[in-house]
Amino acid sequence: MYLLRIPRNASWVVRKVLEAREQLRIRSHSHGTISQQMQSIQLGGKFSIHKMYISLLPNHPKVAWKYLTMHPRIHPRHRFILWLAIQQRLATVERLLKVGINVTPECAFCGLHMETFTHLFFECRITTNIWRRVLQWLGHNKQPMRWEDEVHWMSQIAKKKGGTAEITSCAFAMVIYKLWQARNNARFQRKTFQPELLIKDMVIHLHVRGRNNATWRRRPQEIFNYPH
Ligand SMILES: [Zn+2]
C-alpha cells in the first residue's frame, strides 16, 4: 500500500485517498509512533474528526508581521507592496546588480548613497524624515528605527483595535507604497520627487476613507490636521 503509486487514471476519490496516505506517511516521520499519532486524533478514546483535521493542518511558522500584511483596512494595492517590502523582495538596485542588471547605483531620493533596501527604508535622510513626520502627525512620540524594529513595532500596532492603530497601519503601508512608487518614477521616468505631494496624497486618502468610518471619525480632531 505504501509503495503504491497514484495511478493517473484513478478516479478522483481513489486519488484523494492515496494523497491522504502520502500526507500520513510524511507525518509519521515527524509526529512519533503510530500509537502516539492515533492518540493525537482521539477524544475520550474515540476517533475525532475535528482532532484529525487539526492534526493535518500544515504547521507553518507564525510570523509576527502576519497581522500587518493581512490588515483588513489596508488598501490591497498598498498591502501587496508592503508584503513584498517586508520580505525584502522589492527590486532595489542592490538586488538588480546581483542579477546583472546595470542601473545607476545612487539613491533616487538623496543621490548620496547606494540604493539598498535598508537605505531606502529608512536610513535615507529624505525617507526617514517623511516617516518621522507621519509618526508625529499620528501622535506617536518616537523616532524611526531600523527596518526590522519598525516592522516589529508596526506588527504590534496592527493587532490593536481603534482608530489610531488602524490609521497608523494604513499610513505605514501607504508610506512604503508611495515611496516605492516615487522611487520608480524618479529612477525610470526622471520625475522630480516632491515629498509634500506624497504627504498630501496620503492625508487626502486617509481623510476620504475616514469620512465613511465611524471608528476613524471618533479620533480627536488634531489627527486630521496637516503633518508638520
Ligand atoms: Zn537616500
CA–centroid distance, residue 193 to ligand 1 (Å): 12
Query: Residue 180 Cα, ligand 1 centroid: separation in angstroms?
Result: 12
Is a pLDDT exceeding 90 seen at residue 79?
Answer: yes
CA of 203 to the centre of ligand 1 (A): 23
Burial, 176: exposed, middle or buried (Cβ in 10 Å; 0-12, 13-18, 19+)? buried
Query: From ligand 1's centre to the CA of 47, what distance in Å?
Result: 61
Confidence of residue 76 (pLDDT cuts 50, 70, 90): very high
Residue 170 pLDDT > 90, yes or no?
yes
Q: Does residue 227 contact residue 137 with C-beta atoms inside 8 Å? A: yes
Domain boundaries, the chain: 12-56, 66-224
* 128's grid cell: 526617514
Ligand 1 centroid to residue 102 C-alpha, Å = 18
Ligand 1: centre distance to CA 157 (Å): 27
Per-residue pLDDT at 25 exceeds 80: no
- Per-residue pLDDT tens for 104-149? 999 999 999 999 999 999 999 999 999 999 999 899 999 999 999 9
Res 20 pLDDT > 80: no
The pLDDT assigned to 32 comes to: 66
* Distance in Å from the first CA to the final CA of the chain: 70
Per-residue model confidence (pLDDT) at position 172: 97
Residue range 68-92: average pLDDT? 94
Ligand 1 centroid distance, CA of 124 (Å): 4
Average pLDDT over residues 67-90: 93
Q: How far is the CA of 108 from the centre of ligand 1 (A)?
A: 7
Give the mean pLDDT of 156-164.
90
Return the pLDDT at 10: 78
Question: What's the CA angle centered on 225, arms 223 and 227, to 5 degrees?
Answer: 95
How many Å lie between the centroid of ligand 1 and the Cα of residue 14? 59
Q: What is the tens place of the pLDDT at every residue in 172-215?
A: 999 999 999 999 999 999 999 999 999 999 988 888 888 777 77
Distance 118 CA to ligand 1 centre (A): 10
In DSSP notation, 138-173 reads TT-------HHHHHHHHHHHHHS-SHHHHHHHHHHH
* DSSP symbol at 46: E
What is the whole-number distance in angstroms between the Cα of residue 199 and the centre of ligand 1? 18
**pLDDT above 70 as % of the chain:** 82
The CB density around residue 205, as the number of other CB atoms within 10 Å, is: 16
CA of 153 to the centre of ligand 1 (A): 23
Span from the CA of 71 to the centroid of ligand 1 (angstroms): 29
CA atoms within 13 A on the CB side of 96: 14
46-50, 97-101, 172-176, 181-185 — which is least confidently predicted? Answer: 46-50
pLDDT at 152 over 70: yes
How much distance in Å is there from the Cα of 22 to the middle of ligand 1?
51
